[in-house]
Amino acid sequence: MNKWLNEEALDVLVNYYYPKAGWLQDNVNWGPLDYEGPEANSIIDDPLLQKIDIYDCKTRNAAGFSNVLQDLHFGSKTPKWRWQNAERRHINTWNDDITWGLSTWFFVMMCHRITGSGASFENDHGYRNNIMQYWGTQFGKLGIKDMCEDMIKMKEQGPIFTSIGNQPPAPKKGFSNVDFMTQELPELMFKFTDWLLYTGSEPKKGHKEIVDFLNEHNKSAGHRKFNFQYAAFSMDCSDYYPGSVDEDSHTYLGNNAVRCMKKLSTGYKPDEFMNILRERTGGRPKDLEDVMCDFVRFGQNYVPRGNGTFDHIPSTITNNSGWVSGWKQRQGTPPDTNTLPI
């Protein structure tokens, strides 16, 4: 197959979307400025990017689906402290005293991904139905046994999963994700920790190696592959433990990233295309994978419609790039507030 690059779309990604998302991350998401302040109005000048706060990341650890892991790791020093209310700050102050061992940290990180990362893309993005956010306070502070008991108890009381953009995996028939997390995951994380630290001649493992190692367990246990969750977990590992996981290594691409690659190119294998994107942006594959997913939503002018967070946003909103992506538009329709009840 002949190789081809969609230079028009690549130009929008590399020279329009990526630097603007990066500026918003550094100056608003993790900084002191505002999405619609005078600085952003001058530099960003894009209603979609400024009014819908899911287009503000150039690195995956700044995205909402990583909020809980950042809170647990950094506690009161989390980079999103300025956006957090008193209750959230109280929880993060508790997190300053976490003393988990490495395999317990891996267990928490994996549970976060398997349960959907708290994703919603609305005002509770990163926290929706997520119980791991409380494990640094009292419900899991003593370790994996407490955490497993908490999952079983909380599953009986209400939802502990989200599926918006992060569909939970599907273990073998008759075996739930809670079964997997409480019955198999603890031992798997012990084995993973040992493999990560002590197996092989290279000082660091790659993202793909981690996914393949974990999926070998699934294969032997009769489960389907957890490609999406294991890939996210592998990248979390390099976010927080770059001494053991190569943060510059290539990754497996999620469905939206593949969709983006197909729009931007023809004939390239994922790693080949990622090398091109890495050269043009200076980003790492693990971060660019997330950027590619967001770029699809950007090209769709996506506005989350669910709990009312963006009800004030009209269905006519678009980005200011001038690019016509060809993807189905997803602004949605706000509720009609002018209709009187009968």
Each residue's pLDDT tens digit, 171-203:
999 999 999 999 999 999 999 999 999 998 788
Q: Which residues pair with 4 in a beta bridge?
A: 266
Q: Is the pLDDT of residue 342 over 70?
A: no
Q: Is the pLDDT of residue 143 over 70?
A: yes
Question: How much is the CA Rg of the chain, to the nearest whole Å?
Answer: 21
pLDDT band at 24 (very low <50, low <70, confident <90, very high): very high
Hey, what are 97's tokens? 């005293």
Kindly list the distances between the CA atom of residue 276 and the CA atoms of 6, 208, 233, 280, 326, in Å, as whole numbers in the listed order: 12, 19, 24, 6, 23
What is the model's pLDDT at position 338?
60
Q: In which element (H, E) is residue 4 found?
A: strand 4-5
Assessment of whether the complete model's pTM goes beyond 0.75: yes
What is the model's pLDDT at position 200?
80
Least confident among 15-29, 63-77, 140-154: 140-154
Each residue's pLDDT tens digit, 255-313:
999 999 999 999 999 999 999 999 999 999 999 999 999 999 999 999 999 888 999 99
Mean pLDDT score across all residues of the chain: 95
**Relative orientation angle of helices 185-198 and 144-157, to the nearest 10 degrees:** 140
In the 8-state DSSP scheme, what is residue 245? B
What is the model's pLDDT at position 339?
54
Over residues 45-61, mean pLDDT = 97
Each residue's pLDDT tens digit, 104-117:
999 999 999 999 99
What is the model's pLDDT at position 165?
72
What is the model's pLDDT at position 341?
53
What is the model's pLDDT at position 273?
98
Cα within 13 Å of Cα(213), Cβ side = 19
What is the model's pLDDT at position 34?
98
Three-point CA angle 57, 102, 153, nearest 5°: 85
Each residue's pLDDT tens digit, 76-97:
999 999 999 999 999 999 999 9
Q: First CA to last CA across the chain, in angstroms?
A: 61
pLDDT band at 154 (very low <50, low <70, confident <90, very high): very high
What is the model's pLDDT at position 337?
66
pLDDT band at 139 (very low <50, low <70, confident <90, very high): confident
Do 304 and 54 contact (CB within 8 A), yes or no? Answer: yes
